[in-house]
Amino acid sequence: MFCRAELVADNYFHAVFEATKSVAEKLRAKTGLTSDGAVLVDEALGMARGGVPRLAFNSLQTESERSEHTGLMNLTKGVFGAFRNTTAHAPRIHWNVTEHDALDVLTTLSLVHRRLDSAVRTHVP
C-alpha cells in the first residue's frame, strides 16, 4: 500500500496524497503512458480516438457500458483535481484532512484501483 506509513502515523494529509499518486502510477503501468493528472486520465481512458480508450473498464458495447466508463473516467479525473492537486499545492496547515475524510477518500481510491485492476488494454496504441 502506497500510504501505509502515513496512515499508521495518523498523517491523513500525506496518506491521501500518496494514495492518489498510486492511481497515476497504476494508469502508467497499465498503459505505458508517461503523463500525469487529468492529461494522463484523458490519454488512458478518454474515448476521443474513434470512441475507443487505451484502457477500458468494460466492453463498451452498450450505451450503459459507455456511460459507466465515462463516469469512472470522470471520477478518476476528479480524484486528481480534488485530492492530489490540492495536497500537492496547498500547505497541510491550510487543508485539514480529518480521519473521516481520509477514510472516505481512500475508499473512493480503492474503488478506482479495483476497477483499474480489471480494466483491459484495447488495440489503441
* Each residue's pLDDT tens digit, 5-34: 666 567 788 788 888 989 999 999 999 999
**Alpha-carbon span 69 to 75, nearest angstrom:** 10
**Alpha-carbon span 16 to 26, nearest angstrom:** 16
Crossing angle (nearest 10°) for helices 63-79 and 12-31: 130
- Go through 81-106 and write b for each residue having 16 or more CB atoms within 10 A of its CB, e for each that does not: eebbebbeeeeeeeeebeeeebeebb
Q: How does pLDDT run across 73-111, given as a tens digit for each residue?
A: 999 999 998 887 666 656 666 667 888 998 999 999 999
